[in-house]
Amino acid sequence: MIYRLGELFCGPGGIAWGATNADVGDPDFRIVHQWANDYDADTCNTYRHNICPDNPETVYHEDIRKFDMSKLAPIDALAFGFPCNDYSVVGEQKGMNGVYGPLYSYGVKALKLFRPMWFLAENVGGLKNANDGKAFTKIIAELKGAGYTVVPHLYKFEEYGIPQARHRIIIVGIRDDLDVVYRVPSTAPYENIDNTCRTAIEVPPIPADALNNERTKQSPQVVERLTHILPGQNAFTADLPDHLKLNITGAKISQIYKRLDPEKPAYTVTGSGGGGTHIYHWEEARALTNRERARLQTFPDEYEFMGSKESVRKQIGMAVPCRGAKIIFEAILKCFAGISYDWIEPNINE
């Protein structure tokens, strides 16, 4: 079975790369791109350029709230990483009351319209607690109500060999008239993988002329501040001279001027960059380049992001790690192909 994949909120293609590169050793079970939609123009261009260069017209740059899904081609599978802004721990956590919170409903609408055999939905771990847990309960109920048996799980991607501590709730749904059971893939095969951020960034070395590898100019004050911050420390845990301390009241976000620890996976790559929220190199007094950030998200070096440096930074931060998505899609394909694999019980708790 070749599964034609449709994507809403497609981002720059982390999910699509994982889907189209998923390989279970049986060419009869694979996933191909059918169509995708996103509201950001640069993101759509990145997706077209890397995922479907021969069919650029299958990527629709439109606001989902005004998008006519009835014009789209039939699909066998659906993926939607619905916007996380209102569920993120870093944001204001408006949940269902925010602008982005209700957008999951368009995924439910697509499930009812296309009746795909299976779907994958992705969001931040904070989704579980939004609106005192009511948002998550409502979303799960609506996905089930659309006719699917759902398996939500909090995937800790560093446990799957990804060089980044990135925790995301991913819901896999199988249409409930199908005799197929999805199992969460085990982390055991990845226990001995070297997934330190040093290895991800340095092995092999990034060529000087690599795509999307421009350096960010650091002010003299930022350079001086970074010289006092040790690997793994941030602006609040480091021993800074008074003139370099940040005058911030209230919540102190731990990622402000935080250096990577080269012996561990990176902390979560986000789309932000201002006010010290870049990811900072463990040794050099600078922010990471977008190519280095892309490596932490396991995008291949030949994957070219389109748009300005700031736009590319946001695209990379919003993406699902390519290799992490591939692991989950391969598990889905194995379920349908009747191929056994090691699995674990689903769990949505940290």
Q: Which residue carries 């561990």 as its tokens?
A: 264
- CA–CA dist 75, 291 (Å, integer): 33
Catalytic residue flag (residue 52): no
Q: Is residue 289 part of a domain?
A: no
CB 297 within 8 A of CB 164: yes
- Report, as an integer, the average pLDDT of 15-38: 97
User: Which pLDDT score is estimated for 252?
Assistant: 60
DSSP letters, 287-304, are BPPHHHHHHHTT--TT-P
- Report, as an integer, the average pLDDT of 3-19: 97
Express as a percent the part of the chain with pLDDT over 70: 93
| Burial letters 109-139, b for 16+ CB under 10 A, else e | ebbeebbbbbbbbbbbbbbbebbeeebbebb
- Beta bridge partner(s), residue 259: 280
Q: Is residue 328 part of a domain?
A: yes
E strand or H helix that includes residue 316:
helix 309-318
Contacts of 40 (CB under 8 A, 6+ apart): 61, 311, 315
Dihedral sign (CA 120, 126, 129, 132): negative
Which has the closest alpha carbon to 102: 61, 64, 151? 64
| Burial letters 240-268, b for 16+ CB under 10 A, else e | beeebeeeeeeeebebbbbbbbbebbbbb
Q: Which residue carries 């950030």 as its tokens?
A: 293
- Report, as an integer, the average pLDDT of 280-301: 97
E strand or H helix that includes residue 312:
helix 309-318
Domain count, the chain: 1
> CATH no. for residue 160?
3.40.50.150
- CA–CA dist 222, 244 (Å, integer): 8
Express as a percent the part of the chain with pLDDT over 90: 79
Q: Is residue 219 part of a domain?
A: no
- Report, as an integer, the average pLDDT of 39-55: 98
pLDDT band for 298, please (50, 70, 90 cuts).
very high
Q: What is the 3-state secondary structure (H, E, C) of 243-287?
A: HHCCCCCCCCCCCCCCECCCCCCECCCCCCCHHHCCCECCCCCCE
DSSP letters, 146-189, are TTEEEEEEEEEGGGGT-SB--EEEEEEEEETTS-----EEPSGG
Q: Is residue 202 part of a domain?
A: no
Query: Which entry of 10, 44, 52, 84 is annotated as an active-site residue?
Result: 84
CB 229 within 8 A of CB 259: yes
Question: By mean pLDDT, which of 93-102, 245-254, 294-303, 335-344 is the weakest?
Answer: 93-102
Q: Is residue 199 part of a domain?
A: no
Q: Is residue 181 part of a domain?
A: yes
Q: Is residue 177 part of a domain?
A: yes
Q: Is residue 333 part of a domain?
A: yes
- CA–CA dist 217, 96 (Å, integer): 38
- CA–CA dist 66, 50 (Å, integer): 26
3-class secondary structure, 125: helix
Q: Show the domain range for 16.
A: 2-191+320-344
Q: Report the predicted TM-score, pTM, of the whole model to 2 decimal places.
A: 0.93
The DSSP code for 65 is: G
pLDDT digits 0-9 by tens, 99-128: 445 788 899 999 999 999 999 999 877 777
pLDDT digits 0-9 by tens, 48-104: 999 999 999 999 999 999 999 999 999 999 999 876 544 444 444 444 454 445 788
- CA–CA dist 4, 229 (Å, integer): 48
Note the residue count of the chain: 350
